[in-house]
Amino acid sequence: MRKALILILAAGSCIGSYATDARVNSWGKHDAFFMDEVSIFRNPANISIYPNMVYGSYGKLTVTDSAPFIEDPFFGGIVSYSLNEESDAGGQYPMLSLGAVFNRYDEMLDYVTKGKADYLDTTVDLAKPLGKLDLLLGYVFKNGVMLGGGAYLALQSKEKEGELYETKIYKGNVGMNWPVAKTMDLEISLGGGTMTAVSANTAVARQDYFGRAEIRLFSALAGINGDFVPRARVDFLNLEEQNELKVDIAAGLGMNINIDKGFFWAGLEFLYGQRDAKNNEAEQNVGGKISFGIERNVLWDWFLIRVGGQKSLLLKTVGPSEKEWWENPSSDETDKDLVGLGFGINIDNRLHLDFVVSEMIPFTCSNLISGEQKYLFSRVSATYSF
């Protein structure tokens, strides 16, 4: 029997409960060792894991000296359709999925967004790219093998007094999620794209290219009621106009475990980075990262508390002689800082609301009404499954 699945807005799941960008941010800051909806942008094959859901995010609350403001809210949609014509088969595979996600902020935008640490050239003003759009396609074979492809674009082009301002990012990726054994899933993804940035007819990037490869293996272990997860990733970025080549490598081991009324994950990674620059001294970073996340129902089945953290320590070498240690920031409320705290609301296992608690709340509770601290959360996301 053909089975039409529902329009969804970029969905996510992790061992039976759905994830959002807010959940990940409060739950260890990254998702290297567990599955969630954020992974569909790196491996579009995973969109087939999350049918029947709507999803939306308010974005990230950023606080400045003047006033707080919200950055990069997004939403999207995926339509999945079962191609299984056997009414008594009891399964929905093979299945086709199509998707679109609107206004998602991709990490490559850091290079063309003024104020970001990776901004290409602080002496120029680049046109802010608009029309941020993800397009996704996934297909599941009857044996459970998932394939997918995705594309991302963000662009702007304008002329002012005869001068061209142009910013373009085109990105594509393909992926596979393959059940190689009854208790083992292999995930492989490849991606790449180009970046162009022109300010007042001066190019700071002209079709400079970048790429990524990632592999993860989820191996179920009955003894721990969870998964053992080895993972490796390679990123590179070639900036021709800047005469730079950047390479980043991460490899590590992690696990995720179903605990009583909750879920726990932890991982340890080796990190290596290199920047070759013709006009600047080369850089090399070597170190590691340890991270964890835990969530648990508290008092009621519909209320969850989450906490997570990460610690990175790198030895940075600049040129032939300059060396120093670097660690991730402690408490600047970014995706790279030390700890996160949040909670989730689960109504009938359909509506899921996730909140990231402001890191200042434990110290400013008495000021929430009359003091300077007027906000409770830094991110809010919601999903609804049908």
CATH code of 353's domain:
2.40.160
Instruction: Determine the pLDDT at residue 2.
Output: 30
Instruction: Determine the pLDDT at residue 280.
Output: 64
Cβ atoms 76, 10 nearer than 8 A: yes
Instruction: Determine the pLDDT at residue 51.
Output: 81
Counting the structural domains of the chain, the total is 1
Question: Environment class of residue 71 by beta-carbon count within 10 Å: exposed (0-12), middle (13-18) or buried (19+)?
Answer: exposed
Question: How far is 287 from 270, CA to CA, in rounded Å?
Answer: 6
Instruction: Determine the pLDDT at residue 42.
Output: 92
Instruction: Determine the pLDDT at residue 178.
Output: 95
* Structure tokens belonging to residue 305: 């508390």
Question: How far is 44 from 75, CA to CA, in rounded Å?
Answer: 16
Instruction: Determine the pLDDT at residue 368.
Output: 62
- Residues across the chain: 386
Those residues with Cβ within 8 angstroms of residue 363's Cβ, 6 or more apart along the chain or in another chain: none
Question: How far is 281 from 322, CA to CA, in rounded Å?
Answer: 10
Long-range contacts of 33-36 (CB under 8 A, 24+ apart): 33/229, 33/231, 33/252, 33/254, 33/255, 33/256, 33/265, 33/266, 33/267, 34/227, 34/229, 34/254, 34/256, 34/265, 34/293, 35/218, 36/12
Instruction: Determine the pLDDT at residue 223.
Output: 82
3-state secondary structure 141-198: CCCCCEEEEEEEEEEEEEEECCEEEEEEEEEEEEEEEEEEECCEEEEEEEEEEEEEEE
Instruction: Determine the pLDDT at residue 287.
Output: 97
* Structure tokens belonging to residue 95: 């299945």
Which of 7, 26, 6 has its CA nearest to residue 354?
Answer: 26
- Helices and strands in the chain, H and E counts: 2, 19
Helix (H, G, I), strand (E, B) or coil at 201: coil
Which helix (H) or strand (E) is 283 found in, with range?
A: strand 283-297
The answer to whether the bond into 94 is cis (omega within 30° of 0) is yes
Cβ atoms 185, 170 nearer than 8 A: no
Instruction: Determine the pLDDT at residue 15.
Output: 29
The boundaries of the domain holding residue 287 are: 3-385
* Structure tokens belonging to residue 244: 């730079």
Instruction: Extract the residue ranges of the chain whose pLDDT is less than 50.
Output: 1-19, 88-90
